[in-house]
Structure 1
Amino acid sequence: MGELTDKIKGNVNEAVGKVKEQSADPATRDDGARQETRGKGEQLKGNLKGMLGDDI
């Protein structure tokens, strides 16, 4: 995947994770926190690809 794709996926996962964290169900809140963290990681990966090129 390219830089832009990783950044978009990261933004989507972060947004969905934040919504899930507002749930009354503790399991859904935990899943939301994990998804938000995964989104931040994807954004970081996209940023690194932007700096180093899409070859990583």
Structure 2
Amino acid sequence: MGQLKDTVKGIANEVAGNVKQAAGRATNDPAKVGEGVAQERKGEVQQGVGKIKGAVGNRV
């Protein structure tokens, strides 16, 4: 169950990060772009954690 939760949270953070980046570029706000990049990376890590949980869960 944790695998799915982490994966979904990761996808949501990636999408939100991409939206922030686009908004930052549209308004010429480098801080907002940076926030978006950080949130996107957080989402990628969360998805990775979900994949690890899935792999470990399948082996137990």
Give the TM-score normalised by the residue count of structure 2: 0.83
The structure with the larger Rg is: 2
Runs of 4+ in 1 over 2 A off after TM superposition: none
Structure 2 alignment gaps of length 5 or more: none
Match of 2:56 in 1: 52
Question: Residues of 2 paired with 1:14 and 1:42: CA distance?
Answer: 10
From the two aligned structures, give the one with the greater helix fraction: 2
- What is the number of residues matched between the two proteins? 53
Q: How far does residue 12 in structure 1 lie from its aligned partner after superposition?
A: 0.2
RMSD: 1.1
The sequence identity of aligned pairs, in percent, is: 43
Give the TM-score normalised by the residue count of structure 1: 0.89
Question: Residues of 1 paired with 2:9 and 2:32: CA distance?
Answer: 20
Match of 1:11 in 2: 11
